[in-house]
Amino acid sequence: MKFLVDRCAGRKLADWLRSEGHDSVYAVSLGPDPGDRALLQSAVSEKRILVTIDTDFGKLVYKGGEVHCGIVRLPDVRRDRRIELMKILIERYGPQLEKGAIITAESVTQFS
């Protein structure tokens, strides 16, 4: 799978995705923060699933009609639990993510 990991989701998560064989880009490598809309457009142009903590992307898609290639939101997931949760999400919802699903995961305990 191809991912674009937002700055707020962290480099460790981006690196872990890459180590698992995914095509993962960490947003910091794209230069200065371009803003949410431009980041979403970048993900779309490269057919990447956006991984973020930010709630603004849902607003851009649902209220603003922006196109996307899938979004994973981890709004209240502690930094030290993001990899664990992402592993579960990929295992359980990989095909849906590849088809452009939007998934909001609020805590690891919901997936235990």
Q: What is the pLDDT of residues 45-104, one digit of tens each?
A: 999 999 999 888 888 998 888 999 999 999 888 888 999 999 999 999 999 999 999 999
Nearest in space to 23 (alpha carbons), one of 44, 5, 45: 5
pLDDT above 90: residue 34: no
Flag whether the pTM goes above 0.75.
Answer: yes
Nearest in space to 85 (alpha carbons), one of 48, 38, 53: 53
CA distance 15 to 55: 23
Q: What is the pLDDT of residues 7-16, one digit of tens each?
A: 999 999 999 9
- Domain hosting 86: range is 2-111
Q: Indicate the number of domains in the chain.
A: 1
